[in-house]
A and B are shown apart, each in its own frame.
Chain A
């Protein structure tokens, strides 16, 4: 097949057709990104002496990458990110701490890579405290300033598939960021009204921000990003019964709200062992599942494609926990080929790393990953 433009390539893949080659991604979001450490070494390796690129997510230290890097790797997407609010209430404190606009304090340990939460403002809260919390302003015009223009420009003047908004966690994550994970997981069982009130508050906030973003960019988007982890490496974070009773109704509402405002495919990121959730997620409108954490329990790509491959697009799947940081060139090649073989036939696959490319991943391995797709990702898959 003749070489397709990225947007056409992606469009076919997302509609379960085989394009010219498997589309590829890195850098589209804070869950499919490249971290600062890995990025700095990559640009140096590529000989880019004046690299652009700034941290777009404090907690994960992901980078909005230099256009030259994305071109070199052959990334098929460009992201129209949320912007910071005009009234940015976040501030840095002593000892490398940062308090964000939700009132959540994070700290980066000495020599650490990431910021971790050290203060959950609603940890001791009662139900009536939720409303009293100092919530960020969803109407802050800064969050979507210039989004319409950027999306339109990408649509008219580039051939890339358009991805957005790429940042911010979902309502489940934010609930436990605010409450503390142990406390919020307990709330789901023994303090249900509190859990529901908190999720309701955040979902409503989110809907306002999403509405404004999608009014600006919705008609240009190919993929709408939503990330909200609901699993651990060995297990879902909760039973299916708890999920269906407490979390799924809010997801259903939010996903319907998004789909009323854009024809983009709905991309849902949740790490971990998530096979148990997939039927439910498909039912409530999820089109794309990411990151396909292959190191987690019960996440065999061949099996997943067999069970869900006609109804669900897979995005990611190249192992970040072992192969990308510690594997040699051959191992990276084998890993990429394996995921192509398992997931690419019939379309419905975008190749990328499982989650962000971590600081310890050598640039050679990143380049090998993308070179391998160019070589072996051509349709029809012939190996």
Chain B
């Protein structure tokens, strides 16, 4: 059954995967087991293969899409269980930047791996991050930029937290095409990841 789920997910067969999940729930499978044994292993495999240039964006997107549909099915059942959150994350693309595909993938992967994620979308002002952070109390604030011209806004956002005296309350995870480990170090971010799989690993690492 778990093999079937892996196959359906890799094919991007969202309907098939949801049907399979429903069937398993009907047979009494634990929601957590379905995620941990059914959804995460193929997702991790896909992430690894993408990192190694064995598969490409379309394959990753269709799998993530199917997984999201399956997760939507399972999530309502999780509240009845003692949910173990891996951590809380606020994520967004920094101001001046209207790109979100990579950021969405990171949000999706974090969610699949048990993080509670609040996605603020694109072109997010520092004040908005601060306001939401006060409210949501995340462990991690994840900042994304696609353009070299908007990358400095990552630093500006972190500085705004500094100025508000809130910098130490959160861990900052940064990423996006022009972002490098060097840049992350320079702006005193807590973590950098080059892709969605690494982002999850890094998220775990910086709050452990």
Contacts and interface: CB of A to CB of B under 8 A. Distances in A.
A235 B56 contact: yes
Contacts of B147: 113-114
A110 interface: yes
A118 B98 contact: yes
B114 interface: no
Nearest to A241: B56
B61 A186 contact: yes
Contact of B12 (A109, A190, A232, A242): A190
A321 B179 CA distance: 12
Contacts of A182: 61, 101, 104
A233 interface: yes
A164 to B, nearest CB: 29
Number of chain A interface residues as a range: 20 to 34
B58 A238 contact: yes
A190 B57 contact: no
Nearest to B98: A116
A182 B62 CA distance: 9
A107 B178 CA distance: 21
Nearest to B14: A190
Contacts of A185: 57-58, 61
Contact of A239 (B13, B56, B61, B178): B56
A238 B148 contact: no
Contact of A236 (B56, B62, B99): B56
A357 B55 CA distance: 32
Contacts of B4: none
Interface in B31-81: 53, 55-59, 61-62, 65
Contact of A188 (B58, B95, B148): B58
Contact of A186 (B65, B104, B123): B65
B96 interface: yes
Contact of B149 (A117, A118, A181, A360): A360
Given A109-B95, A109-B96, A116-B98, A190 B62 contact: yes
A237 B56 contact: yes
B59 A239 contact: yes
Nearest to A325: B148
B11 interface: yes
A282 interface: no
Contacts of A157: none
Number of chain B interface residues as a range: 20 to 34
Interface string A231-251: 011111111001000000000
A189 interface: yes
A236 B149 CA distance: 23
Contacts of A118: 98
A63 B149 CA distance: 19
A235 B56 CA distance: 8
B99 A116 contact: yes
A238 B62 CA distance: 12
B155 interface: no
B72 to A, nearest CB: 17
A233 B149 CA distance: 17
A186 B56 contact: no
Contact of A189 (B12, B98, B178): B12
B119 interface: no
Interface string B165-196: 00000000000011000000000000000000
A190 B96 contact: no
Which among B57, B97, B178 has the highest number of chain A CB atoms within 10 Å?
A: B57
A156 interface: no
Contacts of B11: 190
A109 B56 contact: no
Contact of A242 (B53, B58, B123): B58
Contacts of A233: 177
A49 interface: no
Given A109-B96, A116-B99, A181-B101, A235 B53 contact: yes
A359 interface: yes
B58 A189 contact: yes
Nearest to B96: A109
A242 B96 CA distance: 33
A186 B11 CA distance: 11
Which among B61, B123, B150 has the highest number of chain A CB atoms within 10 Å?
A: B61
Interface of B: 11-13, 53, 55-59, 61-62, 65, 95-99, 101, 104, 123, 147-150, 177-178
Given A109-B96, A109-B123, A242-B56, 6 more contacts: A114-B147, A235-B57, A238-B57, A239-B55, A239-B56, A358-B148
6 contacts: A118-B98, A235-B53, A235-B56, A239-B55, A239-B59, A360-B149
Interface of A: 107, 109-114, 116-118, 181-182, 185-186, 188-190, 232-239, 242, 321, 325, 358-360
5 closest residue pairs by CB, A with B: A116-B98, A185-B58, A109-B96, A190-B12, A189-B58
